[in-house]
Amino acid sequence: MSKNYYLNGVFQGKVKKCFGMETAIEKSPVIGDIYLSLEGLEGDEWAEKLHHGGLERALHQYPSEHYSYWANKYPSGIEWQEPGMGENLSSVSMTEDTVCIGDRYQWGEAIIEVSQPRSPCYKLNKRWNVDDFSIHMQETSHCGWLYRVIQPGVVSVN
């Protein structure tokens, strides 16, 4: 059985100092086509390669509908919007309730496979200035997930 899902954002970022740390969590929208290799989107970087990036964590997807949950939980004037969790992919209607490890998706020329849930870290606490934010993400299972790339190729938000 196949179902079509549509992306509302594709993002990439470079390592820089922000939020008091070295990170690539601040990502920018990708416009047009981009090459997806076995290790991720062309030009995307990771500050800490032990826990980010690599063959089993080439891409991170985060459901955009989770941002409204966080805005309601922490109504402190923070602008909760993608790609604030450092995600590469944003979509609506794909959540941790509907996506499973091993699910495969055709994306442009590429084929990607869900490899593992995202394990949120302390950098999200600093990014959002919310103590224990990464723990709250884990408790609610609003973490997103990671992909391995089965077949590289040219991809786009369209």
- pLDDT tens profile 137-153: 999 999 999 999 999 99
pLDDT of 1 reads 60
pLDDT band at 6 (very low <50, low <70, confident <90, very high): confident
Length of the chain counted residue by residue = 158
Domain holding 121: CATH number? 2.40.33.20
Report if residue 2 sits inside a domain: no
Domain that holds residue 28: 7-155
Give the chain's domain count. Answer: 1
For residue 41, what are the contacts with CB-CB under 8 A and spacing of at least 6?
10, 12, 30, 34, 35, 59, 88, 155
Backbone angles phi, psi at 4, to 5 degrees: -90, 135
pLDDT of 89 reads 98
The pairing of beta strand 21-23 with beta strand 16-18: antiparallel
Quick check: 88 pLDDT over 90? yes
Report if residue 146 sits inside a domain: yes
Decide which of 136 and 53 is more confident: 136
**What value does the mean pLDDT take over residues 9-21?**
94
Q: Is 64 within 8 Å of 8 (Cβ atoms)?
A: yes
Report if residue 1 sits inside a domain: no
pLDDT above 90 coverage of the chain, percent = 85
**What value does the mean pLDDT take over residues 128-138?**
94
How far CA 58 is from CA of 6, 20, 38, 39, 49, in Å, comes to 19, 25, 7, 5, 11
pTM above 0.85? yes
